[in-house]
Amino acid sequence: MNRTILLTGTIMGMVAIILGAFGAHGLEKLVDADAVNTFETGVRYQMYHALFLLFLGLYAGMVEKNKKIVFVFVLLGVILFSFSIYLLTLNSLTSFDFSVIGFLTPIGGLFMILGWLALAYRIIRSQ
C-alpha cells in the first residue's frame, strides 16, 4: 500500500507541475484572468495533496487499512475537486457545457477534508 500511495503522490505532483506550467504559459492566452486564477487553485490543491500522500506513504504510525481509507478520500477529493475545476475553467473553449459538473467541486473538497480528518483521528487514537 505504501508503494501505491507514494507512486500516486509522485504522479499527482508531476501532473500538478505540468498543469501549473500550462496554466502559467498557455492558458492565459485562451481564457480570462479569473479563469486562470481558478485553474491555479485546482493545481495548488492538487500539489498540496500530492505532498500529503507522500507524507502518508512514509508515515509508519498507521496500519495499512487506515492508510487506505485516507488515501481513497484524498484521491477521490483531488479527482473531483481539482479536475472539475480544470474542466470548468476550460468551459469557454468547448462546445460541451462543463457547468453541469460544478456540483462535483465541493464534493471533492469534502473528500479532501475527510482525508485530513481521518488522518488526524488516527494520529489522536494511536498509542
Give this prediction's pTM.
0.89
- DSSP for 42-69 reads HHHHHHHHHHHHHHHHH--SS-HHHHHH
Q: How many domains does the chain have?
A: 1
**Nearest-angstrom CA–CA distance, 38 and 63:** 36
Grouped pLDDT means (10 residues each) for the chain, 127 residues: 94 95 85 85 96 95 92 97 91 79 92 96 86
**Nearest-angstrom CA–CA distance, 34 and 64:** 41
Grid cell listed for 22: 500550462
**Nearest-angstrom CA–CA distance, 100 and 12:** 25
> CB-hemisphere CA count at 13 Å for 78?
25
What is the C-alpha end-to-end distance of the chain, expressed in Å? 22
Which residue segment(s) compose the domain that 93 sits in?
2-125
pLDDT of residue 99: 80
At position 125, the amino acid (one-letter code) is R
